[in-house]
Each structure stands twice: as structure tokens, then as C-alpha cells.
Amino acid sequence: MDMMKVLTRLAGAFGPSGYENEVSQVIEELAQPYVDEISRDALGNLICHRKGTGPRVMFSAHMDSIGLVATHIDEKGFVRVGALGGMTPRAVLHTPVRFRSGVCGTVCAAVGADMEKLTASDLFIDVGASDEEEARKLVQVGDAAVFNTPVRQAAGRVIAPCLDDRIACLVLLMAMERPAGTDNDLYFVFSVQEEVGCRGAKTAAWSIEPDYGIAVDVTAVDDVPGSKHLFSSVLGGGAAVKVMDASVICQPELVDKLMALGVEKGIPVQRDVLRSGGTDAGPIQATRSGVYTGGISIPCRYIHSPAEMADLNDVRACVELAAAFACCKLER
């Protein structure tokens, strides 16, 4: 699987929270040769199952990205918006965006808006319309938009929109390519609506009832100027094994297992601690009577911006660690 080619397809697919179908179709096409069956649940989670007689292992990477949703179209044709998921308004100013229809625009702020206290209510999308009538032919209230920025390489790193969490979807797809070599009953879940409350992983975990759950997601980093040391991971440090965040405290035994696999297989690993934020690990762990839950994270700079950055060697390390865990001996 060509890493950059697949990532470019995934990052370019339209898929803000609640509108993940285009991403789902790309993933289904790519996953088909490597699993026994593929299904979707009522929420839209894509569940790829490689059958086994051993413990049920659920990997989860979310398909949705943050976005903007049209809430009002004014008489001059400007589209007022709200946020889909967590967004820092200043980080998206003057960013090109694209609606599902293909209509493009740019994100702007109202004249006189306080840049220090900017909220989504101060933002609008200029789609080039001359008045309300023309704008309504292009955009309807309730239409969602995503960042329309390119995928680029910078040295051994990639800069792109929607790395959160399309790069984790890539990790699971590449891990699927590895020879099975295990009795574990493997479920690769590509979940929906993570950015608005980890909704998809909750229902998927309930139906699968896994023995083990591994959330694969990006994680914030501690390696940029002015860092306040709220996070522990760094770009280039390898796969980040989640210890905790605001949604989960991973079972120490599972943290140790993932770290030991890294050492055993020669995979660079580091520990991932976040003082805030969360992933699919939270709802997976609390499903039914509880699930042994951990996380494999890809360190990422500038999360929830139009130009997120990740290290390709970290991505490869996450692929190897996910594949190693999928194939290791696990107890029920």
C-alpha cells in the first residue's frame, strides 16, 4: 500500500462529523482484500472483521474530521457558520474550505471582531456570491464544509488537513496488510462522530463486545516553541503508547504489553500522556462490564488546524506496533 497515495485519498475525502460516507467508501475499497467481512451499523461505523477463534480485539480509528456548518445566509450572501467539533477560530481564519457539493469559499471574521476573544459566531464563509439569492443557490443552511488545503511532504514529514484522524485510518489499513498469523478475532473499526463526543466507538464496542480495545488516533506534542509540557510525545519519537488522557486511564498491564512489544520487535515507542482531550479509548473502556483498553497514538503538531503535521517514521512505527499487537498471544 503506497502510504502517501492512500493518505492523499483519505485526507481529500469529504468527511466532517456526521458526513463520513465518502471516507467510508474509500476505506471499504482499500480494506476489502484483507478481511473476511465488512459491515456498517446504524450510525455509519465501518466494521472490518478478520475472523479468528481467539480473543476479540477491537482497533478503532475515527473517520470524521472537524468542520464548519452553515447556520445563516445573510442578505449580502455571506454564510454564517458554527463549529462541528473542537475548533480554535483564529487557527482557521482565511482558510479555503469546500462543501460536499464542491462549492468552495474562504473563512473570514467579521470586521471589528476581537481577535483575542474570537468565537465561531464571529466567522463566516465567503463563497463569492453577490447576494443572498445567489448564495442560496450554492449553499443551504445545514451544509457542512471542510478545510480545502493540500497534502504536502516536508522532509520526512507530512502536512495535511484531517490527519486527525485519517492518518490513523491509514495505520489500520496498512496493519491489515500484514499476514494474519494469529487466532485473535480482529475487528478494525472506522468510527464516526468522534469529534462531537466519541459516539461511534460507543455503539461499535457495545455490539462487538471486545476483550481488548485499542484506539488509534493522533496525539498532541511537547516539541514546539513555548510548549507548556501539557503533553509528553514528540515528532520522530516513534509510536506513542497511551497512558492516559482526559477520557481514559489505560490498564497498566496493557501499557506495559505495548511498550514491551516495541522493545521486542525493535519498534521505536514512547509514552503518551495528555492532560486534556480524549479518544475512542474512553467509550470503549467503559462498554458493558469494561474492556481492557489501550491506545496507539501518532504524534501530531497543529491538531485541528488546516495544516497538521506528522512524521512518516512515526506512522510506520504505529503500523508495526498495531500489527504486532493484533498477532500477539492474548488471554481471554
Backbone angles phi, psi at 33, to 5 degrees: -70, -15
Q: Does the N-terminal peptide bond of residue 165 adopt cis geometry, omega within 30 degrees of 0?
A: yes
Distance (Å, whole) CA 15 – CA 61: 14
Contacts of 330 (CB under 8 A, 6+ apart): 54, 55, 57, 184, 211, 212
Question: Which amino acid appears at position 245 of this protein?
Answer: D
The torsion angle over the Cα atoms of residues 272, 46, 289 and 275, rounded to 10 degrees, is: 20
Please tell me the distance from the alpha carbon of residue 272 to that of residue 245, in angstroms, as a whole number: 8
3-class secondary structure, 106: strand
Count Cα atoms within 13 angstroms, Cβ side, for 306: 19
Q: Identify each DSSP E strand in the chain by its residue range.
A: 37-40, 46-50, 56-62, 67-73, 79-84, 96-99, 104-109, 123-126, 144-147, 152-154, 157-160, 185-191, 212-219, 239-244, 269-273, 292-301, 308-311
Q: Report the phi/psi class of residue 226: left, alpha or beta, with left for phi > 0 and alpha for psi in -120 to 50.
A: left
Verify whether residue 132 is a known catalytic residue.
no
Look up residue 211 and give its amino acid: D
Written as one letter, the residue type at 301 is R
Annotated active-site residue in 20, 194, 195, 320: 194
Give me the residues paired with residue 274 across strands.
231
Largest CA distance in the chain: 64
Instruction: Tell me the catalytic residues.
Output: 194
